[in-house]
Structure 1
């Protein structure tokens, strides 16, 4: 097991805040109402998770693109193609309302984890990469599930 850099862990955990807040405001109507009044409806309930989730899938495409630059030949070509899938997935699948968008984002994050694993297996992601990505993805999927199924 390779040591996970503290800064990567802290930033990864901080990146969960919008997902956690969204799930909490789905489960707490009073907190959702306060959030809507205080900072706006985009920051409550499933909407914060959906908007932020699409942004994170696009961000992760950029991360994967960086990994793809370390590959060569046909593997590099496949890596570049794989790297753009999360952003395109978010763009094309999140416009149909909160439930279908939430389900689509859940599929996108699950698929992203598979692509993460592939780049890690190829040796172009850091050795600690999956130690970070698996728990973060689990929390994201749980939060999105609250938005979809609660």
Structure 2
């Protein structure tokens, strides 16, 4: 973790806040009730995690696309093709009820971690990339699981 640039680490950790808030409002029902009255039901429980998770999967497609620009030939072409999978997954698989959508987002983030590893393995992502992505992904999956299973 020490090799991760401080700004990337700080922004990555800040990006966890909506996921953490989502889980916290499930685990603390009084907080969830207060937040529902104050912020609206869209910003509590699994709903905030689902909407933000959809955004982040799409964002990560853009990150992977950027990594693909560092390659050439078939590696670049494969990278571009693979980079759109997280956004397409979020678009197609996140719908219906909160449980199904949450499970599909969990699978999406686990799959994204596999793509992260692939891009990193090909030298397209920074050396510190996997240390950051594994840590962030573990927290995201746990937070989404709170919304799905509790």
Q: Which TM-score tier does this pair reach, normalised by the shorter chain?
A: over 0.9
* 8 A contact 1:57–1:87 mirrored in 2: yes
Matches within 5 A, 1:76-91: 76-91=76-91
Q: Which residue does the alignment assign to 1:49?
A: 49
1:140 is aligned to 140
RMSD: 1.0
2:36 and 2:9 mapped to 1: Cα distance? 30
1:103-118 equivalence runs, <5 A: 103-118=103-118
TM-score, with normalisation over the residues of structure 1? 0.98
**TM-score using structure 2 length:** 0.98
Corresponding residue for residue 40 of structure 1: 40
How many pairs are equivalent? 150
- Give how far 1:51 is off: 0.1
Runs of 4+ in 1 over 4 A off after TM superposition: none
Q: 1-side partners of 2:19 and 2:85: how far apart?
A: 21
Name the SS of the counterpart of 2:84 in structure 1.
helix
How far 1:29 sits from its partner (Å)? 1.1
